[in-house]
Amino acid sequence: MIELAELSIAYGRGPSKVSAAEGLSLFVDSYELVAVVGPSGCGKTSVLMVLAGLLRPSQGQARIYGEEVRGIRRDVALILQDAGLLPWKTVWQNAELALRIQGQKDSRERVDEVLHQLGLTGFESRFPGELSEGMKRRVGIARALALQPRVLLMDEPMANLDSLTREHIQNLILTLWREMGFTGLLVTHDMEEAVFLGQRIAVFSPRPARVVEIVDNPGMGTVEYRGTPEFMAKVAHLREVLGGSS
């Protein structure tokens, strides 16, 4: 469960102050997968950083399962835009990294299992430089899922991928969400992706971010949803809302 209550985020002070979000409120229920779309640079990522405990809001509150976010939480995992893999660590070491940092021992089986789930078995000793872009993103997802998080924050995990790989990873995230049952917040600039993966879609305004509209999307949940008239209509609606807000 994620709650953002009248959240404001500001960078810098005085005349150089930049406001990334202002009075932003959003509620994501347990086991819900919500997509966030908005114009480039509107402050979407900043909101994720606050939830990940990496950034302090200037006003308002961010709560996860009722507790105010005051730092890094062990039940929250973050997937970064370019996967954030460390090039000097192998696939296995990258997948294990978050567990290792948190001092969670006996993680071998869990890492092996997650790598298997993501189709990375056999690539454990490869370095990121030897992988395709799609595989790198899967390793980034594996690293987050190895933590068995209650809340999964995703910052454009499919950005800059070719369309086939992008769809493949979208399908994978959908399957994992249904199987593992986490609460998910997905930031994306891709409207089709938002409609494919968001049970609800929050549309943010240009900076400073606030919620312009929440689009209900009850039809999502299957791979076949992509391409249905309902899917197309939602995408068209989002395009219209975003066109009007930017």
Partner 1 sequence: MRSALSSTVRWVLLYLLALGVVIGGWGGICALLVWVRGRPVLPTPGETFTAAWENLPVLAQAFGTSALRFLIALVVSFLLGLPLGLAIGFERRLDTFLSPLIYILYPMPPVALLLFLYLAFGLGEVVRLVVVVIALFFQVVVAAQGAAKYITPSHVAAVRSAGATRLQLYRHVVLPATLPNVLTAARVSVGLGITMLYIAETKLGVLLGPEAGLGRLIEYYTFRGDISLAGVVGLALLGLLFYALLELLERSLCRWKFVGAQRGR
Residue choice 82, 113, 124, 213 for contact with partner 1 (CB under 8 A): 82
Residue 65 touches partner 1, criterion: CB under 8 A: no
Residue 60 touches partner 1, criterion: CB under 8 A: no
Smallest distance from partner 1 to CB 86, Å: 6
Report the distance separating Cα 69 and Cα 53, nearest Å: 6
Report the distance separating Cα 40 and Cα 206, nearest Å: 8
Residue choice 97, 120, 176, 187 for contact with partner 1 (CB under 8 A): 97
- CB nearer partner 1, residue 146 or residue 191: 146
Q: Position 4: which residue type? A: L
Smallest distance from partner 1 to CB 147, Å: 8
Listed residue (210, 183, 214, 215) closest to 29, CA to CA: 183
Retrieve residue 99's tokens.
């567990």
- Residue 46 near residue 20, CB atoms below 8 Å: yes
Report the distance separating Cα 34 and Cα 222, nearest Å: 15
Residue 243 touches partner 1, criterion: CB under 8 A: no
Residue 84 touches partner 1, criterion: CB under 8 A: yes
Sequence-ordered strand ranges (E) for the chain: 2-11, 18-28, 33-37, 59-64, 67-68, 76-79, 151-155, 183-187, 200-204, 211-216
Residue 126 touches partner 1, criterion: CB under 8 A: yes
Residue 78 touches partner 1, criterion: CB under 8 A: yes
Smallest distance from partner 1 to CB 242, Å: 26
First to last CA, the chain: 29
Residue 52 touches partner 1, criterion: CB under 8 A: yes
Angle between helix axes 91-101 and 108-117 (nearest 10 degrees) is 130
Residue choice 62, 80, 111, 120 for contact with partner 1 (CB under 8 A): 80
Residue 87 touches partner 1, criterion: CB under 8 A: yes
Residue choice 19, 32, 53, 245 for contact with partner 1 (CB under 8 A): 53
Residue 143 touches partner 1, criterion: CB under 8 A: yes
Smallest distance from partner 1 to CB 50, Å: 12
Residue 102 touches partner 1, criterion: CB under 8 A: yes
Q: Hunting for tokens 């938002």 — which residue is that?
A: 194
Report the distance separating Cα 91 and Cα 93, nearest Å: 6
Residue choice 17, 56, 74, 116 for contact with partner 1 (CB under 8 A): 74
Q: CA dist 8 to 47, 71, 99, 210, 216, Å?
A: 9, 17, 31, 9, 25
Residue 134 touches partner 1, criterion: CB under 8 A: no
- CB nearer partner 1, residue 66 or residue 87: 87
Binding site for partner 1 (CB under 8 A): 52-54, 71-72, 74, 77-78, 80-82, 84-89, 97-98, 101-102, 126-131, 143, 147
